[in-house]
Amino acid sequence: MRPRYIDADKCTACGLCTKYCPRHLVDQYNEGLAVTRPIHIDYAQAVPATYYIDPEACLYLKHGTCQICVCTCQSKAIDFSQKATEKELQIGAVIMAPGFGRVPDETLAKYSYGQHPDVMTSLEFERLLCASGPFEGEVKCISDRRHPKKIAFIQCVGSRDLGCNNGYCSSVCCMYAIKEAMVAKEHDPEVEITIYYMDMRTQGKGFDAAQKKAESMGIRFVRAKVADVMPWDKNLKLTYSTMDGKHSFEPFDIVVLSVGLDAPADAKNLGEITGFALNEYDFCKTETFAPLLTTRPGVMVAGAFQGPKDIPESVTQSSAAAGIAAGLIAKDRGKALVHKTYPKEQETGKDEEVRIGVFVCHCGINIGSVVDVPAVEQYTEGMEGVVYHAQSLYSCSQDAQEVLKAKIKEHNLNRVVIAACSPRTHEPLFQETLKDAGLNRCLFEMVNIRDHCSWVHANEPAAATQKSKDLVRMGIAKARHIQPLPEQTVPVTNKALILGGGVAGLTAALTIADQGFHSYVVEKEEKLGGHLQHLSYTLQGETVSTVLSELTEKVKKNKMIEVLTSTEMTLVNGFVGNFSSVLTTTKGKKATETTIDHGVIIIATGGREHRPEMVLGNPVKYSDAIVTQRELEQRLAGKGKNPAPKSVVMVQCAGSRGDDLNYCSKVCCNHAVKNALKIKSLDPASQVVVLYRDMRTYGFAEDAYREAREKGVVFIPYTMDNRPKFKSSGKKTSVTFYDPILRDEVTMTPEVLTLSVGIVAEGTEEISKLLKVPVNEDKFFLEAHVKLRPVELPVSGVYVCGLAHSPKPVEEIIVQAQAAAAKASIPLCKGFVSVEPTISCVDKEACIGCGLCESLCPYQSIRIIKDENGKRKAETITASCKGCGICASHCPVFAISMGGYTDEQINAQITAFGAQ
Amino acid sequence: MGQAKDKAELSSLSAQTKLMPSGYKKLGTVMVVGGGIAGVQAALDLTELGYYVYLVEKSAAIGGAMAQLDKTFPTNDCSL
Ligand SMILES: Cc1cc2nc3c(=O)[nH]c(=O)nc-3n(C[C@H](O)[C@H](O)[C@H](O)COP(=O)(O)OP(=O)(O)OC[C@H]3O[C@@H](n4cnc5c(N)ncnc54)[C@H](O)[C@@H]3O)c2cc1C
Ligand code: SF4
Ligand code: SF4
């Protein structure tokens, strides 16, 4: 463990030391575009919020001089005596998440990177766009600080390039280039932006829409290979060649290199220490059907180290890896956890005297340099209910918590008001201290005099001070009315219901069984296996049927899993932890109903192959000569005499990406390449032509795409303005398309025309109605948060994985299923769900049972029931209420109040605003 | 984040961690190497599932590459 030279318990992250440190240091966090000091913190919100000293740059650690910081630090946190330590840990499982590394500078040199300051990497450009970046978010040329008029992005730098040994596609750079271009355009609508690309790989859920938006904002996309970038006067000259073989050049002010994600620099070392294998590109080696297992048992991998990927997928993989690790050591669950205990809560009755303590914080100089903190503190003297007031330098520091506890005891305080920074970041900390002092955590009110006063009115100290006084007065007025609220928990039935018995559902069931919980797998067909039953082999060469039969065997043998085939869910009641569902099993003409209780639901109902009757404007009749990729695969894997056709034309995006579906189906480019390779291996003489818009063989599948081209498969792009035309006569179908290399129309009559038809959602709307969970415009389930909660749905206790979420390849489906199972296991493990005290509460007397609240609640957390007199009354479902307040604000008779925000409290606050 | 912080030990360990093949004594613990978004999420989920986590990060703060990004697709909200 390397030393920080700063005592983390004492450091308050005030930043004085950085101000006084005399030495400059290039700021790595800002990609070398700014300077900082040897003693610093990378960024204000860093965790841990402790400064550190770079020993290579510090004057004392290098030369034994200086030590200025030691006397500037008011909390005496600087400790030069810290030494590097080694620790030996005993652990049950390991998750490797070391992320990605950088593309080496040599690869960037041909674009004049390092020679001209206005050629920069996308990560540097990202810092330039950021408000905390070197120019506070203004986009300027590094060379002379002028505002750029023309910006170019070059895609696939350090990716899809065997010249630098990175044959794979980095999967994220197309999408982040679009993002950066759009943000730059928002900063300055006048700026002209061109993106030079080979294929736009925006295959993720909703990503194609982003590209369309970028196009509508005037961002130009040019399919071309960039030869080089050269300094040219004040500008940069970019030379590129288009598909028709033409070379052109164009001047730019800034050139952004969309650098790929390399393997981490110390990957080899990590592999050796830990004992797992790497793939040929030094990423972690894994298998299609066990995507997160390294070659060393007990060691899992997640994130960009498993293969280049974006944040939503990294987050999904981490939850999945956590689930697998937890499953491995499930028998030791909870043994190492440290549980915190609190003193008994003191009773605070409604009639008891209100005793408020007010604490006003300087936040170092953050508040104190603008707001007159002593004046604000004095102002509270004598206010009704206030029995104690004080100031503190950092009310969030560890010792300030001790002081707070002591003062609560000493003055017998039963309400606490803290005027400091944002409750979003600090309320939990102070509430924790209140609990430690034996007070209910709701007896707390926070006033934000940093964001609302010292920050926004930094140049008007008098006004900022006056506003602070007003806000504090209002906070105290509210505090007089706040009441303790109970900490509630709801018990959980520790069983899971899994809808769908395809690879997603089966994987999820096994992952949950590994944690030691029971699950029901409900499959509407007679057989388990779903889509995988129709696939024969994978791109990596695995035989699907063996994997699938192993998987179903494992599920059938597992005592924790109950499989119900020919069964559908017909009714569901309840809420997180306490669902009750009716399942209908149909055997022949007989239908039987069973009711089961369960705590969570995982939706893994899959999707189905799209079968458009119209493709790119051509009517289609499926036959032996016009097939889908899946049908072609079955023919190729079959025992027939001539499985490989003599000639094939494959048409990509047949139905997807705006043809009739509005999204990219994500799997069909890989599927086409897989089948093309299979044909070539069966019969190298067979002719295969693939007509595509963008080949989206992202990640390591790029290798297969390259192999296919090497083996003679011909890939020809088409555009939506110039679509391939089909013409059928008898059994034959001819295809006419424009070849940009020949610059002419070409007509072929292949033995088989194969359509890459894509994937559509199936049955999601019915489930959406049953469970009241939303679907998007393409009928796929809509997750709670795309990046942070990718497998959870907005209704608590309901999770989604597989094709029901969006089209994706089997490897990603397995990960998603493991992630959904891990997330679903959290309430099962805990055995209860805890409820935030700030939830809605219905006054049954006042309620007229109109049901408006039930129809408005976005979380299905308030419902109408019949009371003992048979009258309709609203009732909050405490376990799932999120406290948003929509019901309370719409109730026509004011029968609903929100814990912590009652009308009484808010009125008191408003009245206090008017009073001086 | 609060939850993991008090349970997950956060330290700036070097990458020179050796892995011992022996059985482990402290039951119910997991090590996560790398404190980027992937590592942090894994650590959070593991604590929620009832395990003690050692989160090992070689630099001075967790967050990895995501902390450097301005806005992130697909929702284009701020990364921090
Ligand atoms: C310019 C750019 C823009 C991007 N924009 C987006 C976007 O808008 N949206 C999106 O979804 N994705 C985006 N991405 C991708 C995103 O950055 C990654 O998906 C994500 O950061 C991967 O997270 P991770 O945790 O796997 O890796 P990282 O973020 O790289 O984290 C790995 C962590 O592990 C630490 N570490 C490494 N080795 C060791 C070791 N041996 N011991 C201890 N610790 C170690 C590192 O210090 C680091 O903190 C972008 C990428 C780039 C390059
Ligand atoms: S095609 Fe792949 S490597 Fe190239 S820029 Fe797009 S995502 Fe990156
Ligand atoms: S063929 Fe499929 S995967 Fe390829 S771009 Fe079109 S929709 Fe996406």
What token pair was written down for A557? 């043998």
Cα A550 from Cα A554, distance rounded (Å): 6
Count CB-CB contacts under 10 A for residue A799: 29
The pLDDT of residue A915: 82
A397: nearest Cα among A358, A356, A365, A364: A364
pLDDT for position B4: 34
Confidence bin at A837 (pLDDT 50/70/90): confident
Torsion of CA A177, A181, A183, A189, to 10 degrees: 180
Angle at A522 (CA atoms; ends A516, A525), nearest 5 degrees: 140
Which residue has tokens 């005596």?
A81
SS3 A62: helix
Distance between CA atoms of residues A348 and A438, nearest Å: 11
Write out chain A residues lying below 8 Å of B59, CB-based.
42
Locate the domains of chain A by residue range.
Answer: 1-90, 105-259, 356-479, 495-607+763-830, 611-757, 839-898
Contacts for A281-289 with beta carbons within 8 Å, 24 or more apart?
Answer: A281/A165, A281/A166, A281/A167, A281/A168, A281/A700, A283/A307, A283/A308, A284/A96, A287/A540, A287/A542, A288/A538, A288/A539, A288/A540, A288/A542, A288/A810, A288/A811, A289/A542, A289/A547, A289/A810, A289/A811, A289/A814
Determine the distance separating the centroid of ligand 1 and the alpha carbon of B35, expressed in angstroms.
9
Q: Is A310 in the pocket of ligand 1 (CB under 6 A)?
A: yes
End-to-end CA distance of chain B: 12
- How far is residue A35 CA from its own chain's centroid? 31
**Chain B residues within an 8 Å CB radius of A269:** 15
Given CATH 3.50.50.60, say whether it is the number of domain A495-607+763-830: yes
Pick the range with the lowest mean pLDDT from A31-35, A412-416, A482-486, A657-661.
A31-35
Residue B41 per-residue DSSP state: H
Confidence of residue A3 (pLDDT cuts 50, 70, 90): confident
pLDDT at B19 over 60: no
Ligand 2 centre to CA of A177 (Å) is 10
More confident residue, A471 or A244: A471
Alpha-carbon distance of A39 to A41, in angstroms, equals 7
> Letter for the amino acid at A159?
S
8 A C-beta contact, residue A808 and residue A759:
no
Q: What is the mean pLDDT of residues A376-396?
A: 93
Could you give the CA distance from residue A689 to residue A712 in angstroms, rounded to a whole number? 9
Tokens 């999945």, residue? A320
Cα–Cα distance, A651 to A688 (Å, whole number): 11
- Per-position b or e across A863-878, b if 16+ CB within 10 A of its CB: ebeeeeeeeebbbbbb
Report which ligand 1 atom has the smallest distance to the Cα of B40. Answer: 25
Q: Is the pLDDT of residue B6 over 50?
A: no
pLDDT digits (tens, 9 = 90+) for A805-817: 999 999 999 999 9
What pLDDT digit, counting tens, does each position of A497-506 carry? 999 999 999 9
Tell me which of A539, A669, A716 to substitute to probe ligand 3's pocket, judged by most ligand atoms within 8 Å of the beta carbon: A669
Determine the residue type at A615: V
- Segment among A52-61, A191-200, A759-768 with least mean pLDDT: A52-61
CA distances, A379 to each of A382, A413, A465 (Å): 8, 19, 11
Share of chain A above pLDDT 70, in %: 99
A626, pLDDT greater than 60: yes
Strands A607-609 and A798-800: unpaired
pLDDT of residue B2: 30
Q: What are phi and psi of A228, to 5 degrees?
A: -160, 170
pLDDT of residue B3: 31
Enter the CATH code of domain A839-898.
Answer: 3.30.70.20
Query: Are B18 and B34 a contacting pair, CB within 8 Å?
Result: no
Provide the 3-class DSSP secondary structure of residue A344.
Answer: coil
The confidence score (pLDDT) of residue B76 equals: 65
Judged against a pLDDT cut of 70, whether residue A467 lies above it is answered with yes
Q: Picking from A2-6, A182-186, A456-460, which range would have the lowest pLDDT averaged per residue?
A: A2-6
What distances in angstroms separate CA A313 from CA A208, A316, B37, one per listed residue? 17, 5, 10
Residue A156 near ligand 2, beta carbon < 6 Å? yes
On the question of pLDDT at A219 being above 90, the answer is yes
Lowest mean pLDDT, pick from A340-354, A814-828, B54-68: A340-354
Closest residue to atom 7 of ligand 3, CA basis: A664
Q: What is the DSSP letter of A797?
A: T
Q: b/e map of A114-135 (b: 16 or more CB within 10 Å)?
A: eebebbbbbbbbbbbbbebbbb
**In percent, how much of chain A has pLDDT > 90?**
73
CATH assignment of A1-90, among 2.60.40.1120, 3.30.70.20, 1.10.579.10, 3.30.1330.20: 3.30.70.20
Residue A120, φ and ψ in degrees, nearest 5: -140, 160
Q: What is the pLDDT of residue A638?
A: 87
Q: What is the DSSP letter of A455?
A: I
| Rounded CA separation A380/A358 (Å) | 8
Q: How many residues can be counted in chain B?
A: 80
More confident residue, A427 or B16: A427
Which residue blocks in A732-881 are alpha helix, DSSP H? 764-771, 810-830, 852-856
pLDDT of residue B24: 44
The residues that bridge with A247 in the sheet, in sequence order, are A241
Q: What is the mean pLDDT of residues A324-331?
A: 94
Asked whether residue A695 carries a pLDDT value surpassing 60, the answer given is yes
DSSP 8-state assignment for residue A803: G
User: In the prediction, which pLDDT does B78 show?
Assistant: 57
Confidence of residue B14 (pLDDT cuts 50, 70, 90): very low
Band the pLDDT of A65: cuts 50, 70, 90.
confident
Contact A314 B37 (CB under 8 A): yes
Question: Is the CB of residue B11 below 6 angstroms from any atom belonging to ligand 1?
Answer: no
A303, pLDDT greater than 50? yes
Query: Considering Cα of A533, then A534, then A538, then A543, what sign does the dihedral take?
Result: positive
Work out which ligand 3 atom sits closest to the CA atom of A652.
1
Per residue in A872-890, pLDDT tens?
999 998 888 888 999 999 9
Instruction: Identify any residues that bridge with A447 across adjacent strands, giving them in sequence order.
Output: A419
- Please state the pTM of the whole predicted model: 0.86
Q: Where are the alpha helices (DSSP H) in A14-149?
A: 16-20, 59-63, 68-72, 105-108, 122-129
Q: Read off the tokens for A455.
A: 């920050």
Q: Are A367 and A375 in contact (CB under 8 A)?
A: no
**DSSP annotation of A720:** T
List C-alpha distances in Å: A169 to A123, A705, A761: 17, 11, 28
Cα of A293 vs centre of ligand 1, distance in Å, is 20
- CA-closest residue to ligand 3 atom 4: A669
Alpha helices by DSSP H, A130-266: 173-187, 207-216
Per CATH, the number for A611-757 is 3.50.50.60
Q: What is the mean pLDDT of residues A770-781?
A: 94
Q: For chain B, state the CA radius of gyration.
A: 14
- CB nearest A335 (choices: B27, B43, B70): B27
CB pair distance less than 8 Å for A787 and B74:
yes
Structure token digits, residue A20 = 């006084």
Taking only Cα atoms into account, the Rg of chain A, rounded to an integer number of angstroms, comes to 32
A48 Cα to chain B: minimum distance (Å): 6
Compute the Cα dihedral for A133, A135, A136, A139 and give only its sign. Answer: negative
Q: Do the first three CATH levels of A356-479 and A611-757 match, i.e. the same topology?
A: no
- Of the listed ligands, the closest to the CA of A183 is 1
Q: Which CATH architecture has domain A356-479?
A: 3-Layer(aba) Sandwich (3.40)
Using the predicted structure, report yes or no on whether residue B21 has a pLDDT greater than 70.
no
CATH number attached to the domain at A105-259: 3.50.50.60
Question: What spacing in Å lies between the alpha carbon of A690 and ligand 2's midpoint?
Answer: 20
Both tokens assigned to B65: 């590459």
Which two three-digit tokens encode residue A212?
């369309």
d(CA A785, nearest CA chain B) in Å: 9
Q: How far apart are CA A525 and CA A515, in angstroms?
A: 27
> Above 70 in pLDDT, residue A151?
yes
Indicate whether A49 pLDDT > 80.
no
Mean of per-residue pLDDT scores for chain A = 92
Helix runs in A411-502, H state only: 423-436, 461-479
